Amino acid sequence: MKMLPVVAPTKDISILLPTRGRNQVAKHSLESLVKHASGHCSIEYLVALDRDDADGIAYFRDHVVPEFTAAGCDITVFATANYGYQQLHRYLNFLGQHSCGSWLIFWNDDAIMLDHNWDQEIVSYTDQFKLLAFTDNHNGHPYSIFPIIPRDWMLLLDNVSEHQQTDAWTSQLAYLTDCFQRIKTRVLHDRADLTGNNNDQTFQNRVYYEGNTENPDDINSLETNTKRYKHAAKISWFLKKIGQDTGWFDRVLSIEQDPWAKMFDDPRSLAHLNKFNIVNEQ
């Protein structure tokens, strides 16, 4: 039976972290969040490990959970089905269903928080329906690499992401409906192609559903684009209900507005946008 998500949040922020094969790296990543949090916001840390990841389960049981609990952190580790990188969003959807936060953050085990009081900046947007985006080291990439969504996003759409490429899925929805918000808090993505670190099997064996639009699971397939616009319509309906402006999406639907114009506003983003080959299927 599918678990019903908590409707009324009891935490300010939920960190959602799927990880495998990077025990110490993941611990260091989580420690960077704890170290830089203000202490004035309630935060829960939710971790997903594969059921067959015996080393990871033992490491978190014996080292991470005791240390974080002793430090006063609310941390829960789940042993889930082995979805693999190809279905990364299924880990996040699972953790989202078990979360209690007003804001949900899709965290990576190779992400390092750099700024203090990051939690307070996020909470300052509570009661606004926006996809928040950290400032990162992806050289001007227009997406929210580590998406931060309000709880209402998950409740409205019944999940946190419909696609493996969670940054692309959420960011494109946010640009379509004009609710994308870059924030000042900085995060370092300590990924091999960006920093030279963590060039391990986890990095080398990644599989992306991108570049073959004939595959229904591709991020730019007709099926995915159709689903994206259906979700955008739900978000627009909700924004109208709460009194947030929907003029942008209304003009997109009437073909008066290029839906991706704000993504192209930053010239640094052009190379990325050309690479991702975003299309406008209505």
**Alpha-helical runs (H) found in 98-191:** 118-123, 151-157, 166-176
3-state helix, strand and coil shares in percent for the chain, rounded to the nearest 5 = 40, 20, 40
- Which are the contacts of 241, defined by CB distance < 8 A and separation ≥ 6? none
State how far the Cα of 122 lies from the Cα of 132, in Å rounded to an integer: 8
> Is residue 176 a contact partner of residue 259, using CB atoms and an 8 Å limit?
yes
pLDDT band at 35, cuts 50/70/90? very high
Does residue 263 or residue 68 have the better pLDDT? Answer: 68
Q: How confident is the model at residue 240 (pLDDT cuts 50, 70, 90)?
A: very high
Backbone angles phi, psi at 52, to 5 degrees: -90, 5
Which of helix, strand or coil describes residue 145?
coil
Interval 226-237 mean pLDDT: 96
Structural domains of the chain, with CATH: 11-204 (3.90.550.10), 222-276 (no CATH)
pLDDT band at 271 (very low <50, low <70, confident <90, very high): very low
Count of CB atoms within 10 A of residue 110's CB?
A: 23
% of the chain at pLDDT higher than 70: 93
pTM, entire model:
0.92
Confidence check: pLDDT of 212 > 90: no
pLDDT digit string, tens, across residues 130-147: 999 999 999 889 999 999
Answer whether residue 281 shows pLDDT above 50: no
Tokens representing 259 are 């839906």
Spatial distance between the Cα atoms of 38 and 34, rounded to a whole number of angstroms: 9
* pLDDT at 277 > cutoff 80: no
Q: What number of CA atoms fall less than 13 Å from residue 162's CA on the CB side?
A: 24
pLDDT at 209: 79
CA atoms within a 13 Å half-sphere pointing along the CA-CB vector of 282: 13
Can you tell me the distance from the alpha carbon of 61 to that of 59, in angstroms, rounded to the nearest whole number? 5
Q: Is 25 helix (H, G, I), strand (E, B) or coil?
A: helix
Are 6 and 99 in contact by the 8 Å Cβ rule? The answer is yes
Distances (CA, A) of 133 to 37, 112, 122, 142, 282: 17, 15, 10, 9, 26
